[in-house]
A and B are shown apart, each in its own frame.
Chain A
Amino acid sequence: MLRHFGRRYGASPLHLVAHLIVFAIALFAIDRMASGGGLAEVIALYVGFVIAHDLVFLPAYSGMDRLVRAALAKLPARPPGSVPAINHVRAPALISGLLLMVYLPFISGKADASYFALSGHHIQGYLRNWLLISAGLFLGSGLIYAVRVRRAATTR
């Protein structure tokens, strides 16, 4: 009978039981989240963020990565075995982009009204700080690249 179940269901009964327990807890939790009214918003957030990440955000950064690689490939060909430049663009761009995403309400100044109401101060210097940090990351990455290129040239 168990084998019959496995063939029909596609996994062991334990698989089904474990998932049903988790679904019961999740249903309860989602119901409680929406207890003040707002089930539609909760469902929209859960589904919307998955769609936004999987179908917009991930393709967008993959596409940007492809563009940078294509641009670097157009540069004059360098001897095989030389130090690739791509990761010296990727690393600072990734970190800078992540900081922008996390602190966007402050870097863009959008949170100014709520921040002023609570802290008594206006948002100041966040855009400048982000630009300085980003410039520092690209500069540091460029310096490491220059050192690696020189070292590769002297050892060859």
Chain B
Amino acid sequence: MPAQFRSGRASGPFRTDFWRSPLRGPWLTSFLGTLLVPSITVIAITGFISHWAYHPELPGNATINPAFDIPVFFQLPQSWPSWDYAVTQGMHVTVGLMTLPLVLAKLWSVIPKLFKLPTVRDLAGVVERISLLLLVGSVLVEFVTGILWMEDYYRLRVDFFAIHYYGAWVFGTTFVLHTCMKLPTVRRSYRERGALRPLCESLHETKPEPLGSSELVPVAPATATLSRRGLLAMVGGASLTIFAVQAGESIGGPFRKFALLAPRGRVFGTGPNDFQVTHTAESAQVTEAMTGADWRLTVVGARTMSFSRDQLLAMAQATETLTISCTEGWSTTQHWTGVRLIDLARSVDAAPGSILSAVSVESNWVTNLADAQYRDKRALLALRVNGADLSLDHGYPARVIIPGGIGNHNAKWVRELRFEQA
């Protein structure tokens, strides 16, 4: 063995006496890992719900090429309340952010393993190191890409959906493997130390775990300056603070203004159109000329009809209270008034089972809606909101509002509705 790898001669963090925190040990890492399991499960389930909420089975909607994707397993039922996706995606983002302190604490608890010598003993050691690189790399990439996306500040060249979705595959599989591999260690440390007993120890009772029970236990421990329950309280306090400054943008209503650091935690006024905008008309290059007096809505089914805004306003109007929820995690609930989409479908004798393509004046952007989505009697082509005409930023002259599911389906500045057989 080369001299520099002999532990007696190792230097810096490679010295076995370099890592001195008396808190590190198999119990602490097991406990942090145990807390991660339910958090990661919630993030994963809500993440897949969001992935499938795009209705990737409809042409043009998929964010990931369906040829290289697993089939749709679950979609939020159309009969659920219109805030279903607000809850699932709000949880994805908020629980995700709240899990960050836990992940960082978990990584802190195992850092001595990175520097243990010899780095690898055998082929199994090499294999484990590669899987840990994938595990830690993917969890960090998931957090960074998710946070940047939530903040409208995603700057990487790799497509967000590709890196975040497939990154979840890498993280999910390595996380399950890692959990299974560490299960014996977790059970042993809970059996020997008690699953919760170390939480009863005050600061002076805080002693290192028995030396030799794991490489994590320091050979030259310092005196504890923090109890294990103190460390967990800090992690929990950090999670709760993040909840306090973030969740209001998903819950909405009077809670929005308490989301002091959330990107969409602002209240801009009390007017009918003063709620959060996904993207402005200016950013979509939609001008007043494109949406002015010349604007007409074309509806295509078994026959084609064309409507001016006044003609749409003369049709039977319905008012529904519906929630728009963005993939970024924020939501807003408003009172929308307009023509029911099912009435427009009937007016052109749309064939049963048709899908609805909503075409926007915004660079002819198209979103496709499933039969069940536009047949929901709450689904509207909204012309007004909270008793006033839609503002240009909110989609004037007309926008689609579908109850439930992803906000992305609520096309703004609609110029054409095509009911077509798939």
Contact = CB atoms under 8 A, between A and B. Distances in A.
B210 interface: no
A117 interface: yes
A79 interface: no
A106 B226 contact: no
Interface in A79-136: 84, 86-87, 90-91, 94-95, 98-99, 102-103, 105-107, 110-111, 114-115, 117-121, 124, 126, 129-130, 132-133
Given A41-B158, A46-B141, A133 B245 contact: yes
B127 A29 contact: no
Given A26-B173, A36-B159, A129-B260, A8 B123 contact: yes
Contacts of A103: 151, 245, 261
Interface in A2-55: 8-11, 15-16, 18-19, 21-23, 25-26, 28-30, 32-36, 38, 41-42, 45-47, 49-50, 52-54
Interface string B42-74: 000000000000000000000011001000000
Given A58-B111, A99-B245, A120 B68 contact: no
B108 interface: yes
B17 to A, nearest CB: 16
Interface stretch (B233-241, B301-309, B310-318): B233-241
Given A15-B127, A22-B173, A30-B170, A121 B266 contact: yes
Contacts of B148: 105
B89 interface: no
Contacts of B141: 45-46, 49
B225 A86 contact: yes
A137 B280 CA distance: 36
A63 to B, nearest CB: 12
Contacts of A49: 136-137, 140-141, 144
B237 A29 contact: no
Contacts of B278: 118
Contact of A114 (B111, B140, B152, B157): B152
Contacts of B37: none
Contacts of B266: 121, 124
Contacts of A36: 158-159, 162
A114 B263 CA distance: 12
Contacts of A86: 225-226
A39 B100 CA distance: 26
Given A33-B163, A114-B152, A26 B261 contact: no
A69 B133 contact: no
B393 to A, nearest CB: 6
Contacts of B261: 99, 102-103, 106-107, 126, 129-130, 133
- Grouping DSSP codes into helix (H, G, I), strand (E, B) and loop, the A interface class, with mixed when no group exceeds half, is helix
A87 B121 contact: no
Interface string B249-272: 000000000001101101010000
Interface residues of A, number: 64
B136 A53 contact: yes
B124 interface: yes
B158 A19 contact: no
B283 interface: yes
Contacts of A129: 245, 260-261
Nearest to A97: B238
Contact of A119 (B104, B159, B276): B276
B3 interface: no
Contacts of A45: 137, 141, 144, 156, 158, 163
Contacts of B121: 10
B122 A10 contact: yes
Contact of A50 (B137, B151, B268): B137
A69 B111 CA distance: 21
Given A95-B241, A111-B152, A120 B280 contact: yes
A54 B167 CA distance: 20
B279 interface: yes
A37 B318 CA distance: 48
Given A22-B177, A111-B151, A33 B166 contact: yes
B144 A42 contact: no
Interface in B146-183: 147-148, 151-153, 156-159, 162-163, 166-167, 169-170, 173-174, 177, 180-181
B114 A54 contact: yes
B123 A10 contact: yes
Nearest to B122: A10
B230 interface: yes
B111 A54 contact: yes
B101 interface: yes
Interface of A: 8-11, 15-16, 18-19, 21-23, 25-26, 28-30, 32-36, 38, 41-42, 45-47, 49-50, 52-54, 58, 69, 84, 86-87, 90-91, 94-95, 98-99, 102-103, 105-107, 110-111, 114-115, 117-121, 124, 126, 129-130, 132-133, 137
Given A10-B121, A118-B283, 9 more contacts: A36-B158, A47-B133, A49-B137, A49-B140, A95-B238, A99-B261, A114-B153, A120-B277, A129-B261
14 contacts: A8-B122, A18-B180, A22-B177, A46-B137, A46-B141, A87-B225, A91-B234, A99-B242, A99-B261, A105-B153, A106-B151, A115-B151, A118-B277, A119-B276
